[in-house]
Amino acid sequence: MNTDNRRRIKDNIILSFFGIQLLMLLIILSYMVGILIIGGIHVISWKTVFTSMLKGGLFETIIGTFLLFNGTAILAAPIGLGAAIYLSEYASKNNKIVRLIDQAINNLAGVPSIVTGLFGYTFFVKTLRFGISLMSGWLTLTIMALPIIVRGSEEAIRMVPKEFRETAMALGATKWQAIKDNVLPTATPGIATSIILGIARIAGETAAILFTACALTMRGLPRTPFDPIISLTYYLFVILVTSPSTSQNKAYAAAIILLSLVFLLNLVAIVLRAHYRRKWRR
């Protein structure tokens, strides 16, 4: 009995120690975010958001970020969804090409964003002559968003019960009709989650767009997809790397806007996913 007690105490000590670590980690992270918010809350206002950079605002950077991730979503979502449908509905596991595709997605997910940026520079900017532009940025970022969208959508589609397909096909629908009319509508929340997560990742990306989409020479907002842009992340990068002591206030403002955007996107994704997972988990 005595050793039993001692063991239980030991158990409790060890596991509480782990719990305390987790708690401390969460406190440190919240503290870091808190510092940002405290430092920036008095700087930020609707005026900063809507005033041009030439007049001390951040308008162009925000528009740049929105243009960047919206365009990427338009490119990456259909490709990613198509790949996900193929992998979950049509591909047979033992097919060599299917395994290659699987491997390619995992490897794409692991390529450091700076390397993707280098590739974007030689291929889209130089070889295809798109220049440092929105277009090069979209294509480069599509490569980064694809793995996230494919994996997420695949999971969502696989979660739809088999019966949804079988019933439709028993009623005479073709395979694609069954997928289009029964499976995809059911999987929509999950697919949306994956696209939002992909966008969130893109919105916060810096390294991949440093030399593919962004330039400091501001000529106002981009007029065509072949103009360079300035994004929130790029703006922060330039301020912090080249002149950390100046314009700290604007850096705080930009950081808060960026963080709110990314948190908001992730929050939506998490809530959406919790919702559909609860629905489909047996």
DSSP sequence for 162-189: HHHHHHHHHTT--HHHHIIIIIHHHHHH
114 touches other proteins by CB under 8 A: yes
Contact predicate 191/152, CB 8 Å: yes
Return the range that interacts with other proteins (CB under 8 A); candidates 48-56, 168-176, 187-195, 220-228.
168-176
The least CB distance from residue 111 to other proteins, in Å, is 6
The least CB distance from residue 222 to other proteins, in Å, is 19
Q: Rounded CA gap, 213 and 232, in Å?
A: 12
- Using CB under 8 A, pick the residue from 63, 108, 169, 268 that binds other proteins: 108
The least CB distance from residue 278 to other proteins, in Å, is 10
Contact predicate 58/235, CB 8 Å: yes
- Using CB under 8 A, pick the residue from 67, 73, 191, 210 that binds other proteins: 210
236 touches other proteins by CB under 8 A: yes
Question: Residue for token digits 């692991």?
Answer: 110
Q: Please give the size of the binding site for other proteins, defined by CB under 8 A.
A: 92
Return the range that interacts with other proteins (CB under 8 A); candidates 162-170, 187-195, 220-228, 231-239.
231-239
Contact predicate 205/72, CB 8 Å: no
Q: Which of residues 74-103 bind other proteins (CB under 8 A)?
A: 78-83, 85-87, 90-91, 97, 100-101, 103
151 touches other proteins by CB under 8 A: yes
Contact predicate 272/196, CB 8 Å: yes
Q: Which of residues 8-67 bind other proteins (CB under 8 A)?
A: 8, 10-11, 14-15, 17-19, 21-22, 25-26, 28-29, 32-33, 35-36, 39
Q: Which two tokens stand for residue 187?
A: 């999987």
- Using CB under 8 A, pick the residue from 126, 219, 275, 279 that binds other proteins: 126
In sequence order, what are the residues at sequence separation of 6 or more whose Cβ sits closer than 8 angstroms to the Cβ of residue 38? none
